[in-house]
Chains A and B, each alone.
Chain A
């Protein structure tokens, strides 16, 4: 503090004649000049959110972060597998999914702003306890599956760096549990986010691998259907990893937590769209990078994280494994913490029991038990020896894809309930796109299940 030039408080106020202004006045922003009640005043104390370029940075910032966090172990595995197995052929799925994803994310954001409530809460309140329990089970299965894959991812990442997964996974689980329960997670989160920035090497790799751009364009805009069960399986995997139930719950709850009111929802719409488009561009670049490095040289199956890491070789050469390991570790630790936390949070909310990491165990029994159980279960199952890592990753995403229509139906029903959403009710165009997405996903899931069944009964489909 600048020293006042007068003997402050040592002399009676009347004797102090010197100015008590700070010696060097600080520069002050101009504020806004307004005419109020016949008086023209310069208002510098307005609490304004940033506008212009700053606002765009504020929107893109979290979007970028969410993207790198959202592309977790299962996501990277599925996109890599799609690129390695079928080259550019599956990009069209991602192009269609971008539209669907954006529409679904926007609906969830709108539902959050219009009601101020999370998805599971709304299901409980509108459809009663039986449906709520059903939805909770779906969420627990889907998120539990993803949690397992995150811990498998932690193991795979550490193995790339030469640490056995039997040490890495228990340590990782313990670390996550400790950080979240003892409240230091917020600080560590930033480091983890920084680690995931490694994955921005993918778009660079996609360019540096010099893919055949005409083939990429063809793959993106000319849908190609194959009766190969693996092809259909991967389509469902792509659906499940892009439009995940937990991302929807997340999107809605984050709007609620941010405190977006229904009156101010308008601009948030853009955030949802930007986030979705950005996230899918990233995914597409993963497919292209893998296709251009592995598919073209004839390596058609990715069976380990080391294989997937090779897609980064055009950028970083021999450091690819290490770099991929760092990114994967960051992403999986991040998701391994956030996923059980968010699941425990949403479920506690639906049951009306106290929630939040600032409670002690006695007051938040259900919340803490659920959180701990998810971590213990995820880590234990991830320790099973000789798990085919990549198959498990993709399998979990397929499971997500199968459960997705259930959650989507709830979202569509709720967003069309005028009593809940009022003016923010779905428009007809939104409904067409939403129901279209639902039909698309359901068809894909049914086709996959059908082809698996046929396969089981020994019917061979023409290749």
Chain B
């Protein structure tokens, strides 16, 4: 085990006895749980930054702090093309923000710990203790290495804060993607927005869309605008229409129109429909991605028919029964439990609950939100004056309306 701060006092030495001081190391960041060192960086005799691939290392003489390499003169100047996948340990990761997934917080890497294994040097952990700072400042004389303060690199996520640099890596397997989207979003709250945008770029689309949904509105917009247009469009198509509407409504008119022209027709229509309602009305907080079925269907028919429509929407717990699919005149509702437990040949209109409390799309959002919460139902339907089903206000949307979006949003602002 060796710390980066100690390693930086090692010398490279080749067969002819030429020496150079090791300056930095690069790792292939996305290569396994413990990224291996790929190149060694040093200053050559002309004080120019050079690098050698790890394969040139023949042995490491730990007590004398020497790294034996084949030929120092074989080194190349700095190359930029490989840097997309590789990251420098000293100039890149050290002192930067890292996400400590075990403790669910952002912190800074004060030192890095490497270990030799099977002829490779692996990045094992990040040291976040104050002792590590002392060690670096005193050239290793003080500041004991205490493994207790080390964060296993397996549970660390590093972001470089440059969404453009990682575009080619999109969809990479990130450790952070094992967390639920809301937790990922909270973790990125203390990060600069460019780091958050990089994370969204790297996540697979469905996870990215869910994470984006869970971010706070301002952050959402900042991150969204940093994304490449293609990805932005894909995410917009995947997001819940009500949240997508809030986001699209904040974009500049020209951008908004371009995006609405380009996303799949169905989602675009949902968003445009929702954009018609002012923010502070029921229409402004409802979602119109709901599952509905004709009352004359039998349960068996409905199960078959709804298999598709039940796939995508976030809200599927209640199924609304309408007179016919075109007019969508609301008649009643059944729960998904009813649908599963009822007999095959019963008609939906026989098992539905015809006593339904509805909301008007132009009623004030605040009061409607309390009605939804007080109803103890998963949602209340929104119906226009012709009785047509327009959407639902879910309990999530209602809570978001009456409570701050997150406990962290309650933190008083310090600077503005």
Residues of A within 8 A of B (CB): 1-2, 4, 8-14, 16, 19-22, 25-26, 28-29, 31-32, 34, 36-37, 39, 41-47, 62, 115-117, 121, 124-125, 128-130, 132-133, 183, 185-186, 250, 253-254, 256-259, 261, 263-264, 338, 341-342, 345, 351-354, 356-358
Q: Which 7 pairs from chain A and chain B are nearest by CB? A: A352-B108, A116-B192, A12-B354, A9-B357, A254-B415, A259-B218, A254-B416
Q: How long is the Cα–Cα vector from A311 to B21 in the complex, in angstroms?
A: 65
Q: CB-CB < 8 A to A185: which residues of B?
A: 412
Q: How far apart sit A83 and B166, CA to CA, in the bound complex (Å)?
A: 57
Q: Can you pick out 13 interface pairs between chain A and chain B where the beta carbons lie within 8 Å of each other?
A: A11-B355, A21-B362, A36-B261, A37-B272, A44-B276, A46-B275, A115-B194, A129-B110, A129-B133, A254-B416, A345-B414, A352-B97, A358-B407
Known contacts: A1-B367, A12-B332, A125-B95. The answer to whether A47 contacts B249 by CB under 8 A is yes
The answer to whether B38 has its CB under 8 Å from any CB of chain A is no
Contacts of A10 in B (CB 8 A): 355
Please pick, from B95, B221, B276, the residue contacting A124 in the complex, using a CB distance under 8 A.
B95
Interface string of B258-293 (1 = CB under 8 A from A): 001100010011001011111101011000000000
Q: Given the complex, which residues of A lie within 8 Å of B272, measured CB to CB?
A: 36-37, 39, 41, 43
Residues of chain A within 8 A of B332, CB atoms compared: 12-13
Q: Are A45 and B274 in contact (CB under 8 A)?
A: yes
Could you list which residues of chain B lie within 8 angstroms of chain A, going by C-beta atoms?
94-97, 105-108, 110, 128, 130, 133, 136-137, 161, 192-195, 218-219, 221-222, 225-226, 245-246, 249-250, 253, 256-257, 260-261, 265, 268-269, 272, 274-279, 281, 283-284, 330-332, 354-358, 360, 362-364, 367-368, 383, 385, 387, 407-408, 410-416
Task: Check A9–B356 contact: CB distance below 8 A.
Answer: yes
Residue of A nearest to B274 (CB): A45
Q: Which residues of A contact B226 (CB under 8 A)?
A: 261, 263
CB proximity of B400 to chain A, nearest CB, Å: 15
Q: Which residues of B contact A16 (CB under 8 A)?
A: 387
Q: Shortest CB–CB separation between residue B414 and chain A, in angstroms?
A: 5
Asked whether B108 lies within 8 Å of A36 as measured between CB atoms, the reply is: no
Structural contact, A44 and B278, CB atoms closer than 8 A: yes
Q: Which residue of A lies closest to B107 (CB)?
A: A352
Contact A43 B276, CB 8 Å, known A21-B360, A259-B219: yes
Given known pairs A41-B275, A44-B276, A259-B193, the reply for A183 and B108 (CB within 8 Å) is no
Residues of B within 8 A of A20 (CB): 358, 360, 383, 385
Tell whether, in the assembled complex, residue A43 and residue B275 are in contact, meaning their CB atoms are under 8 Å apart: yes
What's the Cα separation between A420 and B399 when bound, in Å? 39
Give complex CA distance A262, B296 in Å: 55
- The contact of B387 among A13, A257, A351, A354, by CB within 8 Å, is A13
- Quick check: A183 and B354 within 8 Å, CB to CB? no
The answer to whether A42 and B110 touch across the interface, beta carbons within 8 angstroms, is: no
| B283 (CB) vs chain A CBs: closest residue | A45
Q: Are A1 and B279 in contact (CB under 8 A)?
A: no
- Nearest-CB distance from B293 to chain A (Å)? 15
- Given A1-B367, A45-B277; A357-B415 close (CB under 8 Å): no
Please name all residues of chain B whose beta carbon is closer than 8 Å to the beta carbon of A14 when the two chains form the complex. Answer: 331, 354
CB distance from A247 to the nearest CB of B (A): 11
**Chain A contacts of B250 at CB under 8 A?**
47
Bound CA span A244–B279, Å: 41
B114 to chain A, nearest CB (A): 19
Taking a contact as CB atoms under 8 Å apart, the answer to whether A45 and B222 are in contact is no
Tell me whether B225 and A261 are in contact (CB under 8 A). Answer: yes
Cα distance, A258 to B272, chains bound together (Å): 28
Interface majority SS (helix, strand, loop, mixed), chain B: mixed
- Which single member of B358, B385, B410, B416 contacts A258 (CB below 8 Å)? B416
One of A34, A250, A263 near B253 (C-beta < 8 A):
A34
A275 to B: closest C-beta gap in Å: 12
Flag if B408 contacts A358 (CB, 8 Å). Answer: yes
Cα–Cα, bound, A203→B240 (Å): 54
| B95-A129 in contact (CB<8A) | yes
CA distance A8 to B279 in the complex (A): 24
A356→B413 CA distance, assembly (Å): 9
Contact B364 A1 (CB under 8 A): yes
Determine whether the beta carbon of B360 is less than 8 Å from that of A129.
no
B229 to chain A, nearest CB (A): 13
Cross-chain contact A13 with B137 (CB below 8 angstroms): no
Instruction: Considering the complex, give the chain A residue whose CB is closest to the CB of B383.
Output: A20
Q: Give the nearest-CB partner of A341 in chain B.
A: B414
Select one of B95, B274, B355, B411 contacting A12, CB under 8 A.
Answer: B355
If A1-B367, A45-B245, A259-B219 touch, whether A32 touches B278 (CB-CB below 8 Å) is no
Complex Cα distance, B249 from A11, in Å, reads 38
* Residues in chain A near residue B415, CB distance under 8 A: 250, 253-254, 256-257, 342, 345
Distance between Cα atoms of A429 and B89 in the complex (Å): 36
Q: A11-B355, A128-B95 are in contact. Are A257 and B276 (CB under 8 A)?
A: no
Q: Is the Cβ of B133 less than 8 Å from the Cβ of A44?
A: no
Interface centre among A19, A21, A37, A342 (most CB of B within 10 A): A37
A41-B272, A261-B222 given; name 20 further pairs at CB < 8 Å: A1-B363, A1-B367, A2-B363, A12-B354, A12-B355, A13-B354, A13-B356, A28-B281, A28-B362, A31-B276, A37-B265, A37-B269, A41-B276, A45-B274, A45-B277, A47-B250, A116-B193, A257-B414, A263-B225, A356-B411
CB pair B260 A37 closer than 8 Å: yes
Given A19-B385, A21-B385, A45-B249, also A125-B414 (CB < 8 A): no
A115 partner, pick from B192, B219, B368, beta carbons under 8 A: B192
Name the residue on A nearest B265 (C-beta). Answer: A37
Closest CB-CB distance, B216 to chain A, in whole Å? 9
A125 with B257: CB separation less than 8 A: no
> Which chain A residue lies CB-closest to B416?
A254
Q: From A345, which residue of chain B is reached at the shortest CB distance?
A: B414
Residues of A within 8 A of B193 (CB): 116, 259, 261
Q: Contacts A13-B331, A28-B362: A183 and B95 contacting too (C-beta < 8 A)? A: no
The reply to whether B136 and A129 form a contact with Cβ atoms under 8 Å apart is yes
User: Would you call B357 and A8 a contact (CB within 8 A)?
Assistant: yes
Give bound CA distance, A9 to B381, whole Å: 11
- The listed residue (A31, A129, A345, A356) touching B137 by CB distance below 8 A is A129
- The interface residues of chain B lying within 8 Å CB-to-CB of A36 are 257, 260-261, 268, 272
A66 to chain B, nearest CB (A): 9
Using CB atoms, name the residue of chain A closest to B273.
A41
The smallest C-beta distance from A154 to any residue of chain B, in angstroms, reads 21
Within the assembled complex, what's the spacing in Å between the Cα atoms of A255 and B379? 38
CA distance A1 to B137 in the complex (A): 65
Measured CB to CB, the closest approach of chain B to A34, in angstroms, equals 6
Chain A residues with CB under 8 Å of B194's CB are: 115-116
Contact indicator B279/A47 (Cβ below 8 Å): yes
Considering the chains assembled together, what is the distance between the CA atoms of A126 and B272 in angstroms? Answer: 45
CB distance from A153 to the nearest CB of B (A): 21
Complex-state Cα separation, A130 to B193, whole angstroms: 26
Contact (Cβ within 8 A) A352 B413: no
Contact B257 A130 (CB under 8 A): no
Which residues on the A side are within 8 Å of B414 (C-beta)?
Answer: 253, 257, 338, 341-342, 345
The interface residues of chain B lying within 8 Å CB-to-CB of A32 are: 253
A13-B356, A20-B360, A32-B253 known; A62-B416 Cβ under 8 A? yes
CB-CB under 8 A from B222, the residues of chain A are 116, 259, 261
Complex CA–CA separation, A9 to B375 (angstroms): 11
B253–A358 CB distance below 8 A: no
CB distance from A354 to the nearest CB of B (A): 6
- Give the docked Cα–Cα distance between A20 and B368 (Å): 14
Contact indicator B358/A8 (Cβ below 8 Å): yes
With a 10 A CB-CB cut-off, give which of A9, A36, A121 has the most chain B CB atoms: A36
How many Å lie between the Cα of A20 and that of B275 in the bound state? 22
Q: Write out the residue numbers on chain A whose beta carbons fall within 8 Å of the beta carbon of B161.
A: 115-116
Taking CB atoms, residues of chain B closer than 8 Å to A2 are 363
